[in-house]
Amino acid sequence: MTGGIAAYKAAELVRRLTERGATVQVVMTEGAQRFVQPLTFQALSGRPVRSELWDPAAEAAMGHIELARWAELVLVAPASADFLARLAGGHANDLLSTLCLASAAPVWVAPAMNQLMWANAATQANVALLADRSVRVLGPAVGDQACGEVGPGRMLEPDELTRAVFASEFAGPLSGRHVLVTAGPTREALDPVRFISNRSSGKMGFAVAEAARDAGARVTLISGPVSLAAPPGVTRIDVESAAQMYDAVHAVIADVDIYIGAAAVADYRPATCAERKIKKTSDELELALTRAPDILVSVAQLPARPFVVGFAAETNDIERNARDKLARKQLDLIAANDVSGGQVFEREDNALLVLWPGGRRELQQKSKSDLATELMALIAERYGASRRAVVTPLAG
Separation in Å, CA 328 to CA 141, 147, 301, 324, 369: 40, 54, 11, 6, 29
Residue 175 class from Cβ within 10 Å (0-12 exposed, 13-18 middle, 19+ buried)? middle
Kindly give, in sequence order, each residue whose CB lies less than 8 Å from that of residue 40, ignoring residues fewer than 6 positions away: 11
Cα 370 from Cα 207, distance rounded (Å): 8
What phi, psi does 270 have (nearest 5°)? -60, 135
| DSSP characters over 150-210 | EEEEEPPPHHHHHHHHHHHTTS-TTTT-EEEEEESB--EESSSS-EE-----SHHHHHHHH
| DSSP characters over 57-81 | HHHTTTHHHHHHHH-S-EEEEEE-H
Given the residues 122, 125, 146, 147, select the one marked as catalytic: 147
- Exposure class string for 62-72: b at 16+ Cβ within 10 A, else e: ebbeebbeebe
Cα 212 from Cα 232, distance rounded (Å): 12
Give yes or no: 147 in active site.
yes
Asked whether 214 and 174 are in contact (CB, 8 A), the reply is no
Q: Write the single-letter amino acid at 95.
A: L
**Closest Cα to residue 191, out of 283, 279, 282, 292?**
279
Question: Residue 38 gets which letter from DSSP?
Answer: H
Cα 235 from Cα 139, distance rounded (Å): 8
Collapsed DSSP state (helix, strand, coil) of residue 382: helix
**Which residues is 258 bridged to in the sheet?**
179, 307
Give 80's Cβ-side CA count (13 Å radius): 18
What phi, psi does 67 have (nearest 5°)? -65, -40
H or E stretch including 361?
strand 359-367
Question: Residue 292 gets which letter from DSSP?
Answer: P
Question: Residue 346 gets which letter from DSSP?
Answer: T
Residues with catalytic function: 147
